[in-house]
Every structure is written in C-alpha cells, then in structure tokens.
Amino acid sequence: MQLLLAERYRSGKGVPKDMSKAAELYQKAADQGNHYAQNDLGMLYENGEGVPKDLNKARELYQKAADQGDTWAIENLKKLQPR
C-alpha cells in the first residue's frame, strides 16, 4: 500500500505531486524489504528528488533490491559503479 501511494505522490496522479512525501512512503516500504521501493527510493537519491542527492545511499538501496533479484536495480547499480 505504501508503495502504491508513494508512486501516486511521485507522479501526482490523484494527489498533489510531492516528492518528499513520495520519498517518505518509499522509505517505509523499503524498510519492510520491498525491492521495488528500494529501487525507486534509490532513484530518488541518485537524482536528488525529494531527498538530498546521495549516490552512496542510492548504491546501498540498489544493492538491497538487486540482492532480491530486482533487474532494474541491477542495471541501476551497474550505472553507478566506478569505471
């Protein structure tokens, strides 16, 4: 439920767009082990949307989701790896 509500706040569908609220809800779902939320919250940290930009935090979240087999997180993690 938190994930779905976070997505609505992120997109502004049905509620006013509020990236900070989206991040808060993604965090709650991520804390419960939801890999979709971990990946999406990682993207917010990567881009500094609703939260301060923090590539280390983004990597950490992507890794948690990737460890659960989330293919989007695996790809996002690859993008952030030092070259």
Flag whether pLDDT at 83 surpasses 80.
no
- Please give the pLDDT value at position 40: 98
Q: What CATH code is carried by the domain that includes residue 30?
A: 1.25.40.10
- Please give the pLDDT value at position 81: 81
The pLDDT tens digits for 27-75 are 999 999 999 999 999 999 999 999 999 999 999 999 999 999 999 999 9
Give the start-end residues of each E strand in 1-83: none
Name the residue range of residue 49's domain: 2-80
Phi-psi category of residue 10: left, alpha or beta, with phi > 0 → left and psi -120 to 50 → alpha: alpha
Span 7-21, average pLDDT: 97
Instruction: Please give the tally of structural domains in the chain.
Output: 1
